[in-house]
Chain A
Amino acid sequence: AQSVTQLGSHVSVSEGALVLLRCNYSSSVPPYLFWYVQYPNQGLQLLLKYTSAATLVKGINGFEAEFKKSETSFHLTKPSAHMSDAAEYFCAVSRFSGANSKLTFGKGITLSVRP
């Protein structure tokens, strides 16, 4: 079985500060890992994904994440927060083994950005 743990439900940063959202996963097989963002009253938008290629993954809007197998982590970072980054962020894991594209999500983290 696969699972994702996102520590904390709310993170608040100042505009221009570093954003760090933590994600740890559990998987019995090499995982595919994803970060999604959700703005109010909208669906999920993919920020970035890890699919066993480069361990440092760059995504949209200046976000990046590093896959660390030894720590079973896939933390999301952005060097400088912008007001428009305020949203809910979800980490997800999947096997994508051809016959299985089910995503297992973490509980989500709400990011607030202070002016």
Chain B
Amino acid sequence: KAGVTQTPRYLIKTRGQQVTLSCSPISGHRSVSWYQQTPGQGLQFLFEYFSETQRNKGNFPGRFSGRQFSNSRSEMNVSTLELGDSALYLCASSLRDEQFFGPGTRLTVL
């Protein structure tokens, strides 16, 4: 069974731009969560989607948004990028009591 895939793996943007990251969960998994990982703040929960509905949200500004499609694939969008948004963005799909993580998208904001 294929694992969680994330595209692109690496991304370079400039301040003020917007970016969209994509996540394809493991087949059959309906829950997708997003996390931001930075050296200073560690791993922080962004949001979770289940059956196309956001059912949990972390403490991030409204510039961070996401959505989930009917096939459970998810995208997250960051608008008006700031230098501090540089991070590894991890997606995880869930089945029951376990989350499976993708390799992440490394976003660099210049």
Residues of A within 8 A of B (CB): 32, 36, 41-46, 49, 51, 90, 92, 94, 96, 99-108
Contacts and interface: CB of A to CB of B under 8 A. Distances in A.
B45 A102 contact: yes
B48 A101 contact: yes
B104 interface: yes
A49 B101 contact: no
Interface residues of B, number: 26
A44 B101 contact: yes
B38 to A, nearest CB: 11
Nearest to B94: A101
B15 to A, nearest CB: 24
**Listed residue (A36, A49, A99, A101) with the most chain B CB atoms within 10 angstroms of its CB:** A101
Interface string B87-102: 0001010101111111
Given A43-B90, A108-B42, A49 B56 contact: no
Contact of B97 (A41, A42, A51): A51
B90 A44 contact: yes
Contacts of B33: 101-103
Nearest to B44: A105
